[in-house]
Structure 1
Amino acid sequence: MSSINLILGSHNSQILDLSEADQKAQYEYSIKPFLKLLYNRRDLNFTLYYSGLLLEWLEKHHSEFVDVLLEMVRRKQVELLGGAFFEPLLPLIPKTDRIGQIERMTTHLRKCFGRRPRGAWVPESVWDQRIAASMNTGGLDYVLLRESVFGGGLPLENQFWPVLTEDQGKTLLVLPVAHHLSETLFQQTPEDVMAFLRRVNEENPPRQGGDNSALRPVVALMFNGAQIGYSPEQSAAAMVWYERFLDLVTANRDWIHVDVPGRMLQQGRPVDRVYAPASTVSALLGRLSPKGASEEDREPPGSGEALRMEKSSFRSIMEMYPESARLYARMQHTHVLVNQIRGDKYRKMTAREELWRGQSHFAYWPNSSGGIYRSNLRKATYAALIEAEKTTRERGVFIPAISRVDVDLDGREEVLYQGNEINAYLHRFGARLFELDCISKNWNYLDTFQRCPEEFHDEATVTAGYDLWPRAGFVDHLLLPENTAAEFSRGERRSLCDISSLEYQIKSLDKDHNAVVFRGTCRTDDTLVELVLQKRYRFIKNRIEVDYEIENTGMEALEAVFAVELNLSFHSLEVDSLRLHVRQGRLRQEIAPDMTELQGISDIQFHDLRNNTRIQVNPGERPDLWSFPVEAVGFLGDRLHWFYQSNCSVFRWPLNLSPGEARTISLSVKVEQNR
């Protein structure tokens, strides 16, 4: 009778910003009960993956769990998978980091459990062929990947066979994971799963492998451990389901062979060599849709956006989300800084560890954890990268400086100020500030989000509006007087010309005084107004001074509102996290972080209670103020969720200029620790 090889187990991860309460719930209701169930099923073998971050947490908080897992490994009931320690999207990180993270995970597992891993788990099965060589170099023999990576669109009889792949003369075995079935495991009945396995067995007669060995089809059922749930009720129901499923597997041992991959590969090795295409956007996003949405509600394959996503490389995520592109560029920039360390191995190792932590994939794309929509997850990722950069600075040698570097990889040089108290990154488009790091707190206050339409958005999301310009610092607008605050907050802007994305030239760069002057020209569409804008930044320790000079060089008078937008991102809008105070002349008052309109303000203070930091903005000539929060809708689990992104402050001055007339406007921002 023909038979199949079955791999059973789960993959388990931990995101960087997971709260203590969520960590405990994940352990108590997902991780712990599942291992307890497996421990009592000595008649079966299991394959498990725990990310490096999760293993560190388990060792620190639940050493008894690690002891039980060690016992199961020693009695050869469990095989642990390796991979990259901090779970990056492997093709996105430099080769040296890729191999380094793989070796870091291998070393950790060997020290903790006495055996080096032979196989690896690849996060989200994001693949391109270069990974094969890196895995081989890292000492790994096989990887587990979704069946769609190598067999997508093929008949069932061709999807569940181990294959051999190769890169640069280095080979790697690939075992297929029944991804859709794994991810919907507890939504099926155990009988339905058995019916699927029986069908695979019937349609896949044994083949001849290497050394004339018999090769069986392989089905790996590796579900995400988080599917077990975060409540006692969900956990109990999942354990009952899985116990029942294991009983059915045991009852059908005449045609189901359950084992760990390492031993399976000793019995027969594949001879077919296959090269897989790079993963697509569609494969990465997995067709996110709200809970309860039917197949008819989703974009059909082969039409419009769905077809574009299907054909696009997963790297197109960075085209779709500027936030992903900025985070990726920041990671690459930090990689360069870390690899410039010479002569201090310990400092380089410490910096590299933080760099690798900042490569954890969850913050780089939209996913069920919130992903790129989750502001605090992005903050945690930036925090690791900022900490890595700090470690590269040699004490007593580092001197604050301003320089020109293409830090965002767009082919144009940006202006970087790197200081002891703050980092500030300036873009030539709009001469805007797109990163503002508080060095002591490892916090990027300009880690903001530009709201964009999504396939899964509902009517309420559309009504809240989208952003047609970047959410950054010192974003300038030339508005019509009738433009309202409510319209502006929805992304509706009526302006004479778009100066928010105007390409400025760098007129001068004063390295002695850490100052830079940008110059640009804007012509209005329907008038004879021409404006020459000069924007000067000066960085003094923890303070940024910005001076504008606006000159009407056209042939017609200008009547408009000059507005400067500043978006600052905090932990949350909660009263124990953020407090706002505004001064109007001698009157200082606290305002709510909701929509607020005030006239003639002298300054605004943001009290970041989580970081014990105060940011004070001092505009010149007492402008009017619009202040409102920015939120964006992404996924959390299987439901839509409103994620806080930033607080937007818009400083507004009436601007009336006759031909040949000029005006100067100034603002300053100060970041300081509360005492």
Structure 2
Amino acid sequence: MPQKFHLSLLIHAHQPCGNFEHVLEKAYDSSYLPFIEHLEKHPKVHLGLHYSGPLLTWIEQHRPEYFVRLKKLVQSGQVELVGGGFYEPILVSIRPEDQHEQIARLAAYLEKHFGKLPSGAWLAERVWEPQLPTALASANVAYTLVDDMHFLAAGFEPEELFGPYIAEDRGKAVWLYPGQKALRYLIPFGKVEDVIAYLRDAAAVHPCGVAAMGDDMEKFGVWPGTHEHCYKDGWLSAFFTALEENSDWLEVSTPGAYLESHAPLGRADLPTASYTEMMEWALPTRVRQRYHEVLKEFGARPEVLSFLRGGSWRGFFRKYPESNLLHKKMLRVSARIAAAPAHRDGAKPSDELLQARDLLLRAQCNDAYWHGIFGGIYAPHLRTDPWRNLIRAEAIADRETPGALAPRVELLDYDADGANELLFTSLEAQALVKPNDGGTIATLDFRPAAATLVNSILRRPEAYHTRLREAAGKPATGAVASIHEQTRVKEPGLERFLRYDRWPRHAFRVMIFDPDRTHADYEILELREDAGFAGGVFTVKNSAPNEAELFRADSPPRTASKLPA
């Protein structure tokens, strides 16, 4: 019996912590439910599904009947549920103990509700770094999926990417599937016959190989135009039918099932990478614009494109200091909880510390730390959720640590920018003062309400603002395209609001300007303020748990100011 070519699909469903209820309801009705309904009608289509913890818990509470249907698909072997970090963190951005707990928590949840421990893990945003095999293997993960771009950046040829490889770090190994970008764009935006033709061509060269694709379930119903395209116009049904009709040469396998019967193609030592679009988004705006022009220039030369890639996911910490500040708060809270006596002494953690751990893990949900097509860090509700959880978690850690509730001030490089800040902490508040940015307050937390009172984001140029200006007045085409190829606005005339701040939106910035400046000048950012006072470096003259005195060397004595904690 001749061996068949394989298609292995890994479909990922996720909603951020703190998202609106109506968004989850719409996503469920538009995508998650009809996708499963179509799977039930095509039992020969086997695939892997990954659901993030926030989405699973919402479905469990609000749509429990979905679990019943999903469990039947799992028990029949048609669906393999894949693990990962419970709250969908970028694994390389969190501490090792948090990595392990995130993965273990989702594995335990899947075993409890669906009867099977996962062998694979979804890698949030497919952000890969070379040390990940240790983290994954230590958490009993056998395989994950990254993008073909990861492999191309390591010197692989495109024809080598039709099978899994082994990635190893310090003696720990995991299997890696190379996800095909061509399939990501064909499914579901190309014609069904074009998808089959792509697979048939690959099968002719790699008769027992596998073409893998991992992407969002939301592209099957949530992305603009895709619900009508996939379900009303019948694309998904036609696709599943075509897969079944070509079963004489094509087998649609779950990722785990393919690994059970096939050997790896070899070793893969991959560099830091993510999918192509993510690495472009991570670039500073001006660089991203130039990079985009280079991509357009060499778009027809795949032999050149394999050598072109953008930045790393960590670049968002430089691009968005607000993300960096949130990230450093998260790392600090993780360390504070780990240092609490009940954790440190090996005793069973109190219920309060267990609650703090959950709040911390929830705050590691990746969406608020970056920005690409969707709101991300620009969405106030997504920023607020991790800040609120971190404030609550840190307050619990302080209550569990003797002496930690007394007012205190620390001099430290809180945000890892090379300059020291002053961190004031008391029972009711915490404030981070930045002497090197005009003596401003970068964060101000009111702990009893778990509220961050400084939670605004710098208005800055983004690469797509150019497209927004160009799109003004242009009619929509109505064609269904990948979200990466669309320019959509919620209302006309948004381009008139494209104004950009000169300073981070911290509190208590000193703005000294000529008295003839007006409110209209303020609105259009034309105050022409003294830059030294607004964003210059202030010297810390003295500090105490309840106050600090800052001054500028070139300022008259009367400009020195005391900042209450």
* TM-score (structure 2 length as normaliser): 0.84
Which residue in the other structure is 2:345 paired with? none
Residues 500-649 of structure 1 mapped to structure 2, 5 A cutoff: 500-511=534-545, 514-522=546-554, 533-539=559-565
Residues 316-355 of structure 1 mapped to structure 2, 5 A cutoff: 316-343=315-342, 344-355=349-360
Displacement, 1:482? 3.4
Q: Does the CA contact (< 8 Å) of 1:502 and 1:522 recur in 2?
A: no
SS at match of 1:437: strand
CA distance in 2, matches of 1:82, 1:426: 40
Q: Does the CA contact (< 8 Å) of 2:280 and 2:309 recur in 1?
A: no
Which residue in the other structure is 1:434 paired with? 442
> What amino acid is aligned across from residue 431 of structure 1 in structure 2?
G
Matched, 1:275 2:269: yes
CA 1:267 to 1:109, structure 2 compared with 1: closer, same or farther past 3 Å?
Answer: same
Matched, 1:420 2:427: yes
CA distance in 1, matches of 2:126, 2:21: 28
CA 1:232 to 1:522, structure 2 compared with 1: closer, same or farther past 3 Å?
Answer: closer
CA distance in 1, matches of 2:308, 2:446: 37
Q: Does the CA contact (< 8 Å) of 1:431 and 1:535 recur in 2?
A: no
CA shift digits 1:498-527 (9 cap, x unpaired): 21222112111123xx1111121337xxxx
CA distance in 1, matches of 2:414, 2:12: 35
Q: Does the CA contact (< 8 Å) of 1:363 and 1:377 recur in 2?
A: yes
Which residue in the other structure is 2:247 paired with? 253
CA distance in 2, matches of 1:506, 1:109: 52
Which residue in the other structure is 2:183 paired with? 181
Which residue in the other structure is 1:218 paired with? 210
Displacement, 1:102? 0.9
Q: Does the CA contact (< 8 Å) of 1:339 and 1:348 recur in 2?
A: no
Uncovered stretches (5+) of structure 2, i.e. residues with no partner: 283-288, 298-304, 343-348, 470-493
CA shift digits 1:22-78 (9 cap, x unpaired): 111111121111112112222221210000111111111111111211122112121
> What amino acid is aligned across from residue 534 of structure 1 in structure 2?
A
Structure ranking higher in strand proportion? 1
Which residue in the other structure is 2:117 paired with? 116
Which residue in the other structure is 2:145 paired with? 144
> What amino acid is aligned across from residue 228 of structure 1 in structure 2?
F
Structure with the larger RCO, 1 or 2 (CA within 8 Å, 6+ apart)? 2
Which residue in the other structure is 1:402 paired with? 409
Which residue in the other structure is 1:465 paired with? 499
CA shift digits 1:206-261 (9 cap, x unpaired): xxxxxxxxxx3222233311122249985354132111111111111122111112
Matched, 1:454 2:448: no
RMSD: 2.9
> What amino acid is aligned across from residue 212 of structure 2 in structure 1?
A
Matched, 1:443 2:451: yes
SS at match of 1:506: strand
Displacement, 1:345? 4.1
Q: Does the CA contact (< 8 Å) of 2:363 and 2:387 recur in 1?
A: yes
Which residue in the other structure is 1:55 paired with? 56
CA distance in 2, matches of 1:307, 1:481: 57
CA distance in 2, matches of 1:184, 1:435: 45
Which residue in the other structure is 1:209 paired with? none
> What amino acid is aligned across from residue 352 of structure 1 in structure 2?
R
Which residue in the other structure is 2:238 paired with? 244
Displacement, 1:199? 2.1
CA 1:10 to 1:350, structure 2 compared with 1: closer, same or farther past 3 Å?
Answer: same
SS at match of 1:165: strand
Uncovered stretches (5+) of structure 1, i.e. residues with no partner: 206-215, 289-294, 524-529, 540-675
Q: Does the CA contact (< 8 Å) of 2:442 and 2:454 recur in 1?
A: yes
Displacement, 1:475? 0.7
Q: Does the CA contact (< 8 Å) of 2:145 and 2:214 recur in 1?
A: no
Q: Does the CA contact (< 8 Å) of 1:147 and 1:160 recur in 2?
A: no
* TM-score (structure 1 length as normaliser): 0.71
Percent identity, aligned pairs only? 27
CA shift digits 1:382-437 (9 cap, x unpaired): 11211211221226952333332322122333212223332211111211011111
CA 1:127 to 1:302, structure 2 compared with 1: closer, same or farther past 3 Å?
Answer: farther
Which residue in the other structure is 1:162 paired with? 164
CA distance in 2, matches of 1:40, 1:422: 56
CA 1:43 to 1:229, structure 2 compared with 1: closer, same or farther past 3 Å?
Answer: closer
CA shift digits 1:648-675 (9 cap, x unpaired): xxxxxxxxxxxxxxxxxxxxxxxxxxxx
SS at match of 2:80: strand
Which residue in the other structure is 1:368 paired with? 373
Matched, 1:476 2:484: no
The structure with the larger Rg is: 1
CA 1:503 to 1:297, structure 2 compared with 1: closer, same or farther past 3 Å?
Answer: closer
Which residue in the other structure is 1:85 paired with? 86
Displacement, 1:140? 0.9
